[in-house]
Amino acid sequence: MNQRQLGWATWAMMVAVLMGSGDWLAADARASVLSSLSGSVFLDHDINGIYDPLLEWVFPNVEVSLTQAGSSSAPVVVRTNDSGFYQFSGLGAGQYSITQPMMPGGYMNVKLGLGRLVDAATGQPVEAFPGTIVNYNQLLGIPPHFAGIQLPANSTRGVGYNFGQIWTGKAWYLTDPNPALRPPHARPPIPEPTTMTLLAIGWLCVAGGRRLRGR
* CA atoms within 13 A of residue 29's CA, in its CB half-sphere: 7
**What's the pLDDT tens digit per position in 62-102?**
999 999 999 999 999 999 999 999 999 999 999 999 999 99
For the chain, domain boundaries: 1-32, 34-167
Nearest in space to 156 (alpha carbons), one of 64, 92, 77, 86: 92
Lowest mean pLDDT among 28-37, 44-53, 173-182: 173-182
3-state secondary structure 159-197: ECCEEEEEECCCCCCCCCCCCCECCCCCCCCCCCHHHHH
- Mean pLDDT value across the chain: 77
Instruction: Indicate the pairing of strand 35-43 with strand 162-167.
Output: parallel
Instruction: Indicate the pairing of strand 107-113 with strand 162-167.
Output: antiparallel
Nearest in space to 62 (alpha carbons), one of 34, 44, 91, 39: 39
Look at residue 18 and give its three-state secondary structure: helix
Lowest mean pLDDT among 20-29, 107-116, 157-166: 20-29
Amino acid 181: pLDDT? 58
CA distances from 43 to 59, 136, 155, 167, 187 (A): 8, 16, 31, 8, 11
Amino acid 136: pLDDT? 92
> Is the pTM value of this prediction over 0.75?
no
d(CA 108, CA 165): 8
Amino acid 166: pLDDT? 87
Domain covering 34-167, topology: Immunoglobulin-like (2.60.40)
